[in-house]
Structure 1
Amino acid sequence: MASELSPTPAAAPPLIEVRSIDWVPDEERHGRLWHQAPLWFLGNFQYFSIPIGFIGPSMGLSLGWTILAGALGIVIGTIFMAFHASQGPTLGLPQMIQSRAQFGYRGVLIPLLATLFTYLAFNVTDQVLLGDGLHSAFGWNADLVAVIVTVAAAVLAIFGHDWVHKAFRALLYVSLPLMVIVTIGIVTGHGGGAPSDTHYGFTWVAFMAQLSASAAYNITYAPYVSDYSRYLPASTKPRAVIASVFFGASGAAIWLISLGAWLAIRLGAEDGLAGLQTAGNNVIPHLGQAVALLSALALAATMGMNAYGGMLTVLTAVDSVRPIKPTRAARVITIVVLSVVWFAIAKSITTDSVSTVFTALTLMLYLLVPWTAANLMDFFVVRRGHYAITDLFNPRGIYGSWGWRGLTAYAIGLLVEIPFMVLPQLGSWSYTGPLAERMGGVDIAWLVGLLVTGVVYLLLSRSLDLANEQTAEAASDRELGAMQAAETP
């Protein structure tokens, strides 16, 4: 345990990050609040966001209804994401280490599996999107694209937290002005396009599918949003973190989902990157190529962010079975292995990019909603941000090996989702729950899971001995303070 908690002397941040799943002491909290908004803005200001706007039109939803459903979904999903972000400065820990308080030292393996699926699903989908998109837009070889973006994402993840922030800010500064020009051109009628011969209107099935996919987009950031806020000073105000992340992540997503809906309906685009290229070139010759390439680079950078989060998840899982020393070598090896896995899976995908996006987001939403409900209920209502950090690294600590309250709430939340699920086509198989069938195929499974999990966890937590936890928290604070004092030169 000591190796995971011991601080290092204050110094300039290293070229390659040293920390992984261990606690970040106060003297290493070099993060800045203003870095959060551009990080999460660029995190959604890329190619993945555009095909989400294709989902509604593919089911006959009109442009206006698609934009409304997309915006509502993003707002809902980003609220949960932003609240998770405020946990980073408070605890100085990766998100899933903190989840041991709800699920136990070893019980956290259950939500860790769902989280690892999310990281892999994102990067598999991103690789498919980039291969298809860059082939459609520029005629580049999809296999070569896949190799290059996988290597680039792995390298960025290996360099770590600070370099992810830097890469995202640099890409944002270059791409934002160009995307503004393209958008103004589209609004003023210079982006091309024409009224579609296809009839678009409104159905609840299509509206809820678009809303759910949009909500899933930012809810799926929840397991690792605090990984990128844990270097902020502990004194950072939670409201400031929540606001910064919310406006950054929601603004870009709503913008590009709306753009995607326009490309699908008015331009008849079947690929988001190729459609963006065409619209940009209609506004100013060759502008489309530049914007499309920058959007692809931003998505490749996001793959690096996912690889970094996946590494933290894997190391947390391993440490939950057998305590390990989170070395730099362990970080690098884990990232390389994850890269090989997502590359191999992505190369076996044969469905089109829109179907891949919709399927991945739907599955991620079902799996993560019960976790996010239990975690946020615990942090903001039950324990109110008070945790014994040293006990999170101790299987015999106050949180135990198996947190029956969190695991029970998660299981119940997942089970109650099943009758309401509407799973998209997975090869030759699909599933619509009996209650979803009665509702005409409208998918509200994630809303049911969110509500039920939160209520169940709150009720089960009434038996917690919070007074005993306060004693453990005080002892933890003394231990951490003593270690920092001993290491201070």
Structure 2
Amino acid sequence: MSGSPVSAHAAEASGGLAIEGHSIDYIPENERHAKLSSQGPFWFLGNFHFFTISIGFVGPSLGLSALWTLLAGALGIMFGTLFMAFHGSQGPEMGLPQMIQSRAQFGYRGVILALMATMFVFVGFNVVNISLIMNGLEHVFGIDPTIVAVAVVLIGALLSIYGHDLMHKAFKWALLATLPLYALVTIALMFGAGSEGVTPATDLGFNWVAFATLFAIGASYNISYAPYVSDYSRYLPKNTSRAKLIAAVFIGASLSGSWMIGLGAWLAQELKAADALVALNQVGSSMVPGLGNLLVIVSVAGFLPIIALNTYSAMLTLLTGVDSIKKITPTPRARVLSISVISVILLTCVLSIKGDGIALLNTFLVLLLYFLVPWTAVNLVDYFFVRKGRYAIPHFFTPKGIYGAWQFRGIVSYLIGFASMVPFFYIFDAAAGKEVFVGPLARVLEGVDIAWLVGLVVSGLTYYLLSRSIDLAAERRVIDALSESDIVAMTHSSAEAGR
């Protein structure tokens, strides 16, 4: 499947230090070595970090109290995690990266439309991630932000080059390091740690615009995992229980996300915090001298696997996009080259974009929800209601297969869904304190943002109606004729051959 791949078993045997041999290709069943028990902790850590704490700051910045911020954020997180978890169940059933599977809805070349949206997510998240790290370390330790950016991008690139197994190990160790410290901070806050000399904010309360904004931000935060959650579940055995996997992803991501948003909201209300790392340093230092610095160091170290996670999936997206235009063989060399390109682009963006991190976070999360909602609606409707999980795997790797080069159903549904959202857009620049764009219907709703809900319904319903013309019986005949050995042989042949 790849040029001279290192098998997943070899990587496991070598302690996870071999470069992963697979990228955008199919994972044969005899190489599905991952365990279901790893998914819950993996996605728990996916939200268990100071970036999620920073989301909790957004509520108080909009006038929402800590309690209302926790409720809005938790409800949004759980709503978004539903989509994330259902996408995750596609990994073991198909053994493919998420965006390769999207070729069924958009076509071999048409999937580039969805790829542009998801690349915006991966790179954008890391721009915000690294900006928060740079600001925090500069405030706490006075470290040059440029040095921090280069070091973080480099470490993320190295982890993503080695790939799946090493990243799972890194997530496990990061969780073991951060869990006791964040639990300690949460308990300490209950007893007023870090609040000496600080007057808590008393002008916070409830308003529908802020509540709806926090709900949308929470939803978008975990919906943003949708394009790549199956990238990390595709090594699970094909017979993995769908219900158990969905539950593991949902519980892991929801619990940590709700906890961290609530922690951030409390820090913002009681300590008037505006920077997560600075706030953690303040709380830790108030308990034991030096503990604050340790909290910051461990928080940043525990966050590095998240940088790698976004870089890894950006690599899969980039290779899928290139392969959709010109056939490539997904060799380790192609993997390293694509990650290098992504890292250079990421570093350039990080060093070019300046501004308040929390305001940037707020605006970014709202925007990414607008781009992702039509895609996730189309993908899930196709998987669960139209084709019901049955796909001809080798046909994802050729424009001449049953899914074709262009699938107008998915493309039209995405565009119609996105267009239907525009009148409901509510984009606010918190740093400047002004509205960037407010759609006419959002104005009628006094700024309550329901664009994401409109996009989900319109895109999903449009695709379902258009898909009624698909000849599913013909597709099933093709699928029924394929065996596991056929799939491995045909995808290997497709990876080696030009078109």
Same fold by TM-score greater than 0.5: yes
Question: Which whole-Å CA distance do the structure 2 matches of 1:195 and 1:107 have between them?
Answer: 55
Change (3 A) 1:10 1:430: closer
Q: Which moved more, 1:114-123 or 1:283-292?
A: 283-292
Shift in Å at residue 292 of structure 1?
2.1
2:408 paired residue number: 404
Deviations 1:79-121 (A, max 9, x none): 1001100000000000000000111111100000000010110
Question: In the TM superposition, what is the alpha-carbon distance from 1:476 to its structure 2 partner?
Answer: 3.2
The aligned amino acid for 1:274 is V
1:13 to 11, 27, 44: 11
Q: Which amino acid aligns with 1:430?
A: V
Q: 1:184 to 1:334 in 2, by over 3 A?
A: same
- Cα contact 1:124–1:346 (8 A) shared by 2: yes
Mean Cα deviation higher: 334-343 or 174-183: 174-183
Report the counterpart of residue 207 of structure 2 in structure 1: 203
Counterpart for residue 270 of structure 1: 274
Q: Which amino acid aligns with 1:144?
A: I
Matches of 1:30 and 1:405, distance apart in 2? 36
CA 1:33/1:401 → structure 2, altered by over 3 Å: closer, same or farther? same
Instruction: Give, as a single letter, the amino acid of the residue that structure 2 aligns with 1:444.
Output: I
Equivalent residue in structure 2 for 1:34, among 37, 41, 44: 37
Q: Quick one: which of 383, 391, 396 aligns to 1:392?
A: 396
Unaligned regions of 5+ residues in structure 2, if any?
13-17, 494-499
Deviation for aligned residue 1:197: 4.5
Q: If the length of structure 2 is used for normalisation, what is the TM-score?
A: 0.93
* Paired residue secondary structure (1:430): strand
Q: Take 1:192 and 1:117, find their aligned partners in 2: how far apart are those partners?
A: 38
1:236 is matched with 240
Q: C-alpha separation between the residues in 2 aligned to 1:17 and 1:36? A: 19
State whether structure 2 residue 286 is matched by structure 1 residue 282: yes
Q: Structure 2 matches for 1:312-331, cutoff 5 A?
A: 312-331=316-335
Query: 1:119: which partner in 2?
Result: 122
> Which of 474, 477, 483 is the aligned partner of 1:477?
483
Residue 468 in 1 paired to residue 474 in 2?
yes
Structure 1, residues 247-292: CA drift from partner, whole Å, max 9, x if none? 1111111111111111111001121110111112223333222222
In the alignment, the residues of structure 1 paired with residue 288 and residue 222 of structure 2 have an alpha-carbon distance, to the nearest angstrom, of 32
In structure 1, what is the equivalent of residue 135 of structure 2? 132
Provide the rounded CA distance (Å) in 2 between the counterparts of 1:93 and 1:73. Answer: 28
- The residue type paired with residue 364 of structure 1 is L
**TM-score, normalised with respect to structure 1:** 0.95
TM-aligned CA deviation for residue 191 of structure 1? 4.3
Q: Deviations over 1:415-445 (max 9, x none)?
A: 0110000123398981010000111111110
CA distance in 1, matches of 2:183, 2:287: 11
- Cα distance in 2 for partners of 1:223, 1:62 equals 32
Q: Secondary structure at the match of 2:428?
A: strand
State how far apart, in whole Å, the 2-side matches of 1:380 and 1:268 are.
45
CA offset at residue 296 of structure 1?
1.4
AA aligned opposite 1:434 = P
Map of 2:449 onto structure 1: 443
Aligned match for 1:75, one of 69, 74, 78: 78
Name the amino acid aligned to 2:472.
Answer: L
Q: 1:55 to 1:10 in 2, by over 3 A?
A: closer
1:28 offset after TM fit, Å? 0.7
In structure 2, what is the equivalent of residue 420 of structure 1? 424
Instruction: State how 1:85-484 maps to structure 2 within 5 Å.
Output: 85-192=88-195, 195-425=199-429, 430-477=436-483, 480=486, 483=489
| Separation in 2, partners of 1:320, 1:445 | 30
The range that moved more, 303-312 or 238-247, is 238-247
User: Residues 185 and 307 (structure 1 numbering): CA distance in 2 closer, same or farther, change over 3 Å?
Assistant: same
Deviation at 1:139, TM superposition (A): 2.0
**Structure 1 residues 418 and 482: CA distance shift in structure 2, 3 A:** closer
What do the CA deviations read for 1:51-86 (whole angstroms, capped 9, x no partner)? 101111111111111110010010001110011000
* Counterparts in 2 of 1:7 and 1:18: CA distance versus 1, 3 Å: closer
CA distance in 1, matches of 2:209, 2:487: 55
Q: Distance in 1 between matches of 2:123 and 2:484?
A: 39
Counterpart secondary structure, 2:436:
strand
**CA spacing shift, 1:40–1:455, aligned 2, 3 Å:** same
SS of residue paired to 2:104: helix
- Of 187-196 and 46-55, deviating more is 187-196
Q: Given that residues 55 and 209 in structure 1 are in contact (C-alpha distance below 8 angstroms), is that contact kept between their aligned partners in structure 2?
A: no
Distance 1:470 1:140, change over 3 A: same
Contact 1:43 1:298 in 2 (8 A): no
Matching residue's letter, 1:483? A
Measured in 2, the distance between the counterparts of 1:281 and 1:247 equals 32
Hey, what's the Cα distance between the residues in 1 that align with 2:227 and 2:140? 33
Q: SS at 2:299's partner residue?
A: helix
User: For the Cα contact (< 8 Å) 2:284–2:295, is it kept in 1?
Assistant: yes
**Contact (CA 8 Å) 1:5, 1:23: kept in 2 or not?**
no
RMSD of Structure 2 on Structure 1 (CA): 2.1
Corresponding residue of 2:496: none
**Distance in 2 between the 1:203 and 1:38 partners?**
35
Q: In the superposition, relative to structure 1, how do residues 11 and 436 fare at CA in structure 2: closer, same or farther (>3 Å)?
A: closer
Q: Distance in 1 between matches of 2:122 and 2:177?
A: 27
Tell me, which stretches of 5 or more residues in structure 1 are unaligned?
none
Q: Is the 8 A contact 1:7 1:483 kept in 2?
A: no
Corresponding residue SS for 1:424? strand
Give identity over the alignment, percent.
50
Structure 1 residue 46: Cα displacement: 1.2
